[in-house]
């Protein structure tokens, strides 16, 4: 017998299945490492490592929580209680980052941060993090892993996507084929990557900070030869560039949008709170028809 509600008998508050509460994990900084002039790796560990529900995908992301230090809040944050006590603008904010690597032996995770001085919240925290500092987060969530049966992998992004792309490359089969295009400021920002023999890695340099005028990734992808067959796409980066790349691949190249992992990690001129809020507006959508 079906339990689906009929159109004239929608579930009430009493009959709706309660939403599963989000689990907040608390870990500590073990060490930090400057892996590029504008990228810092923070290694996290602690007793709650064993409680983390890791996924099988290579692109696993966590939502780090940051609160105004002046409020003196203690981690892990009781978000429900804080919503009753604090105005919305004082609530802890979330910043989304990819788990670069899981060190199962030492029960640690690596999280790589793009850092631009005092700009933002998470970057400055990572740049100044000390062993013993605590951090809490929700997740991980996930949504992508390289398919071993794919004939060709088309992968691209800017600095923000390097951790996810690095994890994807390490998760590929040895005989994987494809191309990876990574855009960074200059050669000093290139980081060591483990790349299967059949994957061509291309670093392109803007020569400065990202702006709509200096970025080259979209134009560079136009020059890439994409073979026929089963092509798996993983491309992430700045929102307006993702719109241009989506149009190029789907409208001009004729690739199937379904199955692509192509979305924005950030938006030029926006902090993450604005960026996330705009996802529900026409300006924030990569696919104009959705």
Q: pLDDT digit string (tens) for 220-265?
A: 999 999 999 999 999 999 999 999 999 999 999 999 999 899 999 9
Q: State the pLDDT at residue 3.
A: 36
- CATH assignment of 152-280, given 3.40.50.80, 3.40.50.1220, 3.30.1360.70, 3.90.320.10? 3.40.50.80
Across 243-281, b (16+ Cβ under 10 Å) vs e yields bbbbeebbeeeebeeeebbbbbbbbeebebeebeebeee
Residue 269 has a pLDDT of: 87
Tens-digit pLDDT profile for residues 115-142: 988 888 999 999 999 999 999 999 999 9
Tell me the fold of 25-141: Elongation Factor Tu (Ef-tu); domain 3 (2.40.30)
Q: What is residue 278's predicted lDDT score, i.e. its pLDDT?
A: 80
Predicted pLDDT of residue 85:
95
Distance of CA 65 to the CA centre of its chain: 15
Residue 17 CA to residue 15 CA, distance in Å, equals: 6
Please give the structure tokens belonging to residue 149: 């049966």
> Which ranges of the chain have pLDDT less than 70?
1-21, 289-290
195, 27, 211: which is closest to 203 by C-alpha?
A: 195
pLDDT for the residue 271: 77
> Domain spans of the chain?
25-141, 152-280
Whole-prediction pTM value? 0.89
152-280 has the same fold as 25-141: no
């Amino acid at each position: 017998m079906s339990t689906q509600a009929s159109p004239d008998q929608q579930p009430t508050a009493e009959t709706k299945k309660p939403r599963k509460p989000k689990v907040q994990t608390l870990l500590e900084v073990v060490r930090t490492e400057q892996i590029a002039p504008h990228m810092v790796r923070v290694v996290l560990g602690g007793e709650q490592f064993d409680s983390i529900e890791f996924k099988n995908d290579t692109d696993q992301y966590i939502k780090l929580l940051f609160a105004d230090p002046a409020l003196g809040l203690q981690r892990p944050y009781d978000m429900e209680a804080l919503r009753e006590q604090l105005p919305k603008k004082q609530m802890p904010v979330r910043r989304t980052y990819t788990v670069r690597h899981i060190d199962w032996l030492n029960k640690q995770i690596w999280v790589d941060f793009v850092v631009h001085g005092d700009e933002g919240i998470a970057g400055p925290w990572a740049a100044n993090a000390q062993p013993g500092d605590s951090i809490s987060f929700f997740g991980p969530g996930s949504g992508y892993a390289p398919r071993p049966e794919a004939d060709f992998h088309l992968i691209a992004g800017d600095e923000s996507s390097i951790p996810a792309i690095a994890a994807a490359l390490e998760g590929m089969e040895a005989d994987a084929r494809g191309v990876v295009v990574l855009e960074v400021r200059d050669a000093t920002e290139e980081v060591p990557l483990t790349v299967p023999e059949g994957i061509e890695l291309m670093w392109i340099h803007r020569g400065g900070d990202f702006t709509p005028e200096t970025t080259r990734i979209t134009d560079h992808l136009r020059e890439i030869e994409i073979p026929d067959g089963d092509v798996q796409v993983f491309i992430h980066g700045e929102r307006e560039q993702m719109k241009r790349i989506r149009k190029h691949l789907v409208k001009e190249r004729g690739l199937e949008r379904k199955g692509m992992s192509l979305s924005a990690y950030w938006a030029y001129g926006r902090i993450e709170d604005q960026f996330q809020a705009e996802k529900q507006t026409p300006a924030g959508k990569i696919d104009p028809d959705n």
